[in-house]
Amino acid sequence: MYTGPKTLPAIIEARATQEPDRPLVRFEDDVLTGAQLYENALRVANALTALGLKPGDKCALMLDNGREAIEAWFGMTCAGIVEVPINTAFKGDLLTYMLEQAECRAIIVRADLAERVEVDIPILVVGDSYDAALAAARTEPTGHVAAAHDPSVILFTSGTTGPSKGVVLSHNANFRLCQNVSEIMGYERDEVLFTAFPLFHVNAKYTTVLPALYVGGEVVMRPRFSASRFWDICREEGVTAFNFMGALLMMLHKQPPKPGDRDHLVRKAYGAPAPVTIFEAFEERFGVKLVEVYGSTELGTATGNTVHESKVGSCGVPAPHYEVEIHDADDNVVPPGTEGEICVRPKEPDVMIQEYYRMPEATLKAFRNLWFHTGDRGRMDADGRFYFVDRMKDAIRRRGENISSWEVEKSIDAHDAVQEAAVIGVPSELTEEEVLAVVVLKPGHELTPEALLDHCQQRMAHFAVPRFVRFADELPKNPSQRIEKFKLRELGLTGAWDRDEHGYVVQR
Amino acid sequence: MTAYGGDWVASAILEDRAERLGDRTFITSSAGSLTYAELAHEAAKVAGALRALGIQPGDRVATMLPSGLDYLKVWWGIVWAGAVDVPVNTDFKGEFLEHIVAGSEAKAFIVAPHLHDRAQRFKAILHDPADLTADPVARVPRQERDLLYIMYTSGTTGRAKGVMHVNRSALWNAASWIDILGLTERDVAYSMFPLFHVTARSAVVTATMWGGGRVHLADAFSASRFWDGVKAAAATWFGYMGIVIHLLHAQPERPDDADNGVRIAFGAAAPPGIMDAFEHRFGMRLVEVYGSTELGPASAPEYPQPRKPGTMGKPLPHLLVEVHDEDDNPLPPGVDGEIVARPAVPYGMAVGYWNEPRATLDAFRNLWFHTGDGGHLDEEGYVVFTDRVKDSLRRRGENISSFEVERGVQRHPDVLECAAYAVPAELSEDEVMIAVVAREGRAIDPQALIGFCIDELPRFMVPRYVRLVDALPKTPSQRIEKYRLRADGITPDTFDREAAGLVVPRS
């Protein structure tokens, strides 16, 4: 168990010193050892410093899972540079907005994505200028010593009534999440953790890679999840635990049963949501204990079950570093069993979001009455266990990705033929949601759903492109002209065009 | 007590009191009195006038008025109209005034006639309280979470900040005093604080209104005539600044000292050495309370328990209070650190600083409100206040921002730089001292510099002590090390305004 300073540079230095040649991350055709990670992280740190970046400056990272993404992540922190991970699906205005909002001074990017960068900052292209910069860089420490409360990362999370917000987290917050996950999962030395979640989200970074460093384990990482290959990989790689989201469990569960379903070393899995409909059947069939939690980018894990004690359908009890309550609209605590907003506040310093970067008003709104308001609806039972019900805020969640209806609407509204649009989430058969766009055309204009989606593909991440489109004469509105989305939700998919049904494929 | 059971909305309480206690006298003073019904009626007339001026609910209305009946009518008129009240210290002028009136984006500025010449810059929105009368209008309904007032409080590293209280947080502040002092409708407050201060507004006027008692607005404080005034008003309690206790105790003893009708008094910074003797001599209880503009009262003795000497009592039930180290880790009992607080109820404290979300977030880091005050909790959970961590001063009940004093002094053409800091006052709290470095080739005359300050600064901020130095002590990163200056204290070469017989005129 790692007991050194709670900073990202310190923990990789420790691994490089103590077990230099042991694999830390095993990719499909590559292995990253502790020594390699530390050396290359220092190269990244020195290369960025040579570019003129200073401690506290921000640098974007737009990469798929691979050794570069891990080296660059830790490397920036070795120079005190704050990492800004960007979803590789982003493009256009949204990408520009994020780079500008986070004040990124440089970006490290996958070669084929480089042309999407429309901001005038140094672009380090993996396989090209990035490699050259690293090759030329020194491998000594930069001299910067990070403090645990220093920001390590700004992660964008989709806004609900406005643009995406950059969540500022400290090294300490990263560690507290990692410690909590390691505790509730009972991770021990030599644990082998599988993830196919992207490194531009909190999950893979702080609940897989960091725990492996923390307990002295290893990571098996893939760029993409494959339901058909999953158990083979686990067997071949000796995986002992993995992270899930609802769709992942559903996809595994839908695979035809095989005699070898329990023939592996996997004993436990961490994530959310764990669909009640298949929970016990899944555990029984695969011999895996599911540990469901509730969390967010801002908080990390706020409540959790543990590998020893859990209740199906519940997301567990508050993490030791948090107080969790259910509040009504006036912030009064509601009685057990009553639904309300899940509100959280820290019992320790620097364990959660410091602020939404350069959005103090939005931060204060979320912090009102000195509670963090999650925007999620839930309830607590008489035993103090928590249950996630749904999102109160107008955000959509599809296969683990948060989608801002506001941002999708803004993109659709930009089409010449469109008068206005409303975007909502509709239940998905894979848990979570799919995107439905309800569109009103300008008088005298025509538009096919395919043409609309072509337009969308140019402007938004592939996962945000609506699956369902419905054209309407008008949108339901209240007297103050706000769109009444609850009425659209009640109507659901009635009369909606389904791109899956029509064989329309969205390019990644 | 005639309990109030409605929404925690200030104007709703006045309306309720006017309906149910109507003819009961609420305010007395040497200039006249007001019943509850009369105050509500006068407030409704002021609200009518504000409406005629185009004031909408939520608009800010600033006031700069001496304490008195007019003050109460205008204040509650603003509340009745659903507007947001921005009280301004009557000693303010120049850019201090500008910062509050312009900064709060006030739509009207109600100023006593004798102060009008200072407010000419705001001519377009300037009004005399006497002109604010029109046909009474119905009370504008407000929510508990709607803004009620913005109270500017001295900053530490910056300008004064506007503390925003919504109806519910302001009324937590007021209601707490009922418990702290055990107020009933039979109680009569003897009010010496200016009404632009949060204590007078919450502890005295609003708490009394809620409880159904009476407030006597006292004339200027005089140690020799104090008890006569108290008896004439039939007062049962009062609020004090430390110096008041000192001055009263210094009066020659009289056989009827204890026969004064007062049962309790509250305040802060009473000289600890004389509190027991004072209580015994005057037959009353002294209650020391810890609080701030942001929190209202935060800790106090548990009425009717006796106070625990050396402490400010226990945290009030609507707040959580801890003491943290610099990294925001909670400290064990007995260890000094910064006093921090959280609301234990919705809207249990101020909601932030007006138009300063960044400063608000800094104060709210880790979702604790950081008071800037130093202290600890003892083994029994009592709050022990040791000093202000932040670089502020407190003189005779007024918080003073060293930043603002420095800004004023530095406008003098011969001053290169200066540092303002606190030195202990003889009686209680602090006096303002400045260390000044002259520009090369210039000489500074302390007396002339004080004269300059009198023109530039509100009177209570004018330094008492001036020390001329060749350089200010600084850290390698060029921050002034005030702790060194404080440790030097009043050096033999320090100029003392009072010893020199310089009087700061009342404006």
Per residue in B121-155, pLDDT tens? Answer: 999 999 999 999 999 999 999 999 999 999 998 75
Dist. CA B332–CA B335, nearest whole Å: 6
CB B444 within 8 Å of CB B432: no
Chain A residue with minimal CA distance to B324?
A349
> Between chains, do B144 and A354 touch, taking CB under 8 Å as contact?
no
**pLDDT at position B157 over 60:** no
- CB contacts, 8 Å: A345 with chain B: 342, 367
| Tokens (6 digits) for B73 | 């009518």
In-domain check, residue B396 = yes
Dist. CA A148–CA B370, nearest whole Å: 20
CA distances from A171 to A77, A336, A350, B195, B326 (A): 9, 35, 9, 48, 17
Dist. CA B315–CA A457, nearest whole Å: 58
> Between chains, do A368 and B342 touch, taking CB under 8 Å as contact?
no
Question: pLDDT class for B480, splitting at 50, 70, 90?
Answer: confident
Task: State whether residue B386 sits within 8 Å of chain A by CB.
Answer: no
- CB contacts, 8 Å: B327 with chain A: 149, 349-350
In-domain check, residue B165 = no
**pLDDT at position A325 over 60:** yes
CB nearest B347 (choices: A349, A355, A369): A369
Dist. CA B34–CA A153, nearest whole Å: 60
Same domain, B191 and B247: yes
Q: What is the mean pLDDT of residues B74-81?
A: 98
Dist. CA B160–CA B154, nearest whole Å: 4
- CB contacts, 8 Å: B346 with chain A: 327, 330-332, 369
Same domain, B121 and B60: yes
Judged on CB neighbours under 10 Å (0-12, 13-18, 19+), A505 is exposed
> Between chains, do B342 and A346 touch, taking CB under 8 Å as contact?
no
Residue type for position B330? P
Same domain, B131 and B205: no
Domain end marker among B288, B306, B337: B288
b (16+ CB within 10 A) / e for B214-244:
bbbbbeeeeeeebbebbeebebbbbbbbbbb
pLDDT digits (tens, 9 = 90+) for B385-428: 886 656 667 787 777 878 888 888 988 999 999 999 989 888 77
CB B78 within 8 Å of CB B104: no
- CB contacts, 8 Å: A371 with chain B: 367
User: In the prediction, which pLDDT does B390 show?
Assistant: 60
Q: Identify the residue with better confidence: A103 or B404.
A: A103
> Between chains, do A364 and B327 touch, taking CB under 8 Å as contact?
no
Judged on CB neighbours under 10 Å (0-12, 13-18, 19+), B254 is exposed
| Tokens (6 digits) for B439 | 């520009």
Query: What is the share, in percent, of chain B residues with pLDDT greater than 90?
Result: 77
In-domain check, residue B25 = yes
Closest Cα partner for B435 from B415, B413, B451? B415
Same domain, B245 and B131: no
| Tokens (6 digits) for A229 | 């290959």
- CB contacts, 8 Å: A369 with chain B: 343, 346-348
Is the complex ipTM higher than 0.95? no
Question: pLDDT class for B311, splitting at 50, 70, 90?
Answer: very high
Instruction: Give the number of domains in chain B.
Output: 3
> Between chains, do A346 and B145 touch, taking CB under 8 Å as contact?
no
Dist. CA A489–CA A436, nearest whole Å: 9
pLDDT digits (tens, 9 = 90+) for A404-422: 888 888 889 899 999 999 9
Residues of A with a Cβ under 8 Å from any B Cβ are: 149, 327, 330-332, 345-346, 348-350, 354-355, 360-361, 363-364, 367-372
CATH of the domain at B412: 3.30.300.30
Same domain, B24 and B107: yes
Question: pLDDT class for A477, splitting at 50, 70, 90?
Answer: confident
CA end-to-end span of chain B: 43
Dist. CA B18–CA B418, nearest whole Å: 53
* Arithmetic mean of pLDDT over chain A: 94
In-domain check, residue B419 = yes
φ and ψ at A7, to 5 degrees? -135, 150
User: In the prediction, which pLDDT does B271 show?
Assistant: 84
> Between chains, do B347 and A372 touch, taking CB under 8 Å as contact?
no
| Tokens (6 digits) for A471 | 């054209």
CA distances from B124 to A146, A434, B108, B120 (A): 54, 56, 8, 9
- CB contacts, 8 Å: B364 with chain A: 364, 367, 370
CB nearest A361 (choices: B348, B357, B366): B357
Alpha helix segments (H runs only) across A265-311: 279-286
> Between chains, do A330 and B145 touch, taking CB under 8 Å as contact?
yes
Q: CB contacts < 8 Å between A and B, how many?
A: 51
φ and ψ at A433, to 5 degrees? -135, 165
The C-alpha of A323 sits at a distance from chain B's nearest C-alpha, in angstroms, of 12
User: In the prediction, which pLDDT does B481 show?
Assistant: 83
In-domain check, residue B98 = yes
CB nearest B366 (choices: A327, A332, A350): A350
Same domain, B412 and B482: yes
Dist. CA A323–CA A386, nearest whole Å: 12
In-domain check, residue B507 = no
Omega before B304 cis (within 30°)? yes
Where do the domains of chain A lie, and which CATH numbers do they carry?
A: 8-146 (3.40.50.980), 180-388 (3.40.50.12780), 403-498 (3.30.300.30)
If you average pLDDT over each of B223-232, B305-314, B381-390, which comes out highest?
Answer: B223-232
User: In the prediction, which pLDDT does B1 show?
Assistant: 47
Same domain, B134 and B223: no
- CB contacts, 8 Å: A355 with chain B: 361
Side-chain half-sphere CA neighbours of A464 within 13 A? 27
DSSP conformational letter for A113: G
The C-alpha of B328 sits at a distance from chain A's nearest C-alpha, in angstroms, of 6
The C-alpha of A364 sits at a distance from chain B's nearest C-alpha, in angstroms, of 7
User: In the prediction, which pLDDT does A395 show?
Assistant: 74
The C-alpha of A346 sits at a distance from chain B's nearest C-alpha, in angstroms, of 7
The C-alpha of B352 sits at a distance from chain A's nearest C-alpha, in angstroms, of 9
Query: What is the share, in percent, of chain B residues with pLDDT greater than 70?
Result: 97
Closest Cα partner for B209 from B75, B44, B16? B16
User: In the prediction, which pLDDT does B397 show?
Assistant: 74
Interface of B with A in 10-49 (CB under 8 A): none
Closest Cα partner for B396 from B482, B349, B462, B340? B462
3-class DSSP assignment, residue B37: helix
Question: pLDDT class for B89, splitting at 50, 70, 90?
Answer: very high
Omega before A273 cis (within 30°)? yes
**Among the ranges given (A50-54, B242-246, B417-421, B474-478), the one the predictor scored with the smallest mean pLDDT:** B474-478
What domain range includes position B229? Answer: 182-288
> Between chains, do A364 and B357 touch, taking CB under 8 Å as contact?
yes
User: In the prediction, which pLDDT does B209 show?
Assistant: 97
Chain B residue with minimal CA distance to A331?
B346
- CB contacts, 8 Å: B347 with chain A: 331, 369
φ and ψ at A81, to 5 degrees? -85, 140
Q: What is the mean pLDDT of residues B357-383?
A: 95
> Between chains, do B145 and A371 touch, taking CB under 8 Å as contact?
no
> Between chains, do A370 and B368 touch, taking CB under 8 Å as contact?
yes
> Between chains, do A372 and B361 touch, taking CB under 8 Å as contact?
no
Dist. CA B312–CA B323, nearest whole Å: 14
Residue type for position A286? F
Same domain, B120 and B215: no
User: In the prediction, which pLDDT does B37 show?
Assistant: 98
> Between chains, do B343 and A369 touch, taking CB under 8 Å as contact?
yes
Domain end marker among B288, B320, B343: B288
In-domain check, residue B349 = no
pLDDT digits (tens, 9 = 90+) for A233-284: 999 999 999 999 988 999 999 999 999 999 999 999 999 999 999 999 999 9
CB A88 within 8 Å of CB A198: yes
> Between chains, do B361 and A350 touch, taking CB under 8 Å as contact?
no
User: In the prediction, which pLDDT does B505 show?
Assistant: 83
Chain A residue with minimal CA distance to B350?
A369
Interface of B with A in 323-342 (CB under 8 A): 324, 327-329, 342
Q: What is the mean pLDDT of residues A388-401?
A: 81
**Among the ranges given (A81-95, A109-123, B43-57, B156-170), the one the predictor scored with the smallest mean pLDDT:** B156-170
Task: State whether residue B281 sits within 8 Å of chain A by CB.
Answer: no
- CB contacts, 8 Å: A361 with chain B: 357
Judged on CB neighbours under 10 Å (0-12, 13-18, 19+), B302 is middle
CB B367 within 8 Å of CB B342: yes
CATH of the domain at B101: 3.40.50.980
Chain B residue with minimal CA distance to A150?
B327
Query: What is the share, in percent, of chain A residues with pLDDT greater than 90?
Result: 85
Same domain, B404 and B471: yes
In-domain check, residue B224 = yes
**pLDDT at position B156 over 60:** no
CB nearest B342 (choices: A348, A368, A370): A370
User: In the prediction, which pLDDT does A141 show?
Assistant: 95
Select from B144, B354, B361, B369 the residue whose CB has the most chain A CBs within 10 Å, as the one to mutate to test that interface: B361
The H or E element that residue A440 is part of is: strand A433-441
Domain end marker among B260, B288, B316: B288
User: In the prediction, which pLDDT does B363 show?
Assistant: 95
With a threshold of 0.90, does the pTM exceed it?
no
- CB contacts, 8 Å: B328 with chain A: 349-350
CB B36 within 8 Å of CB B17: yes
User: In the prediction, which pLDDT does B95 show?
Assistant: 85
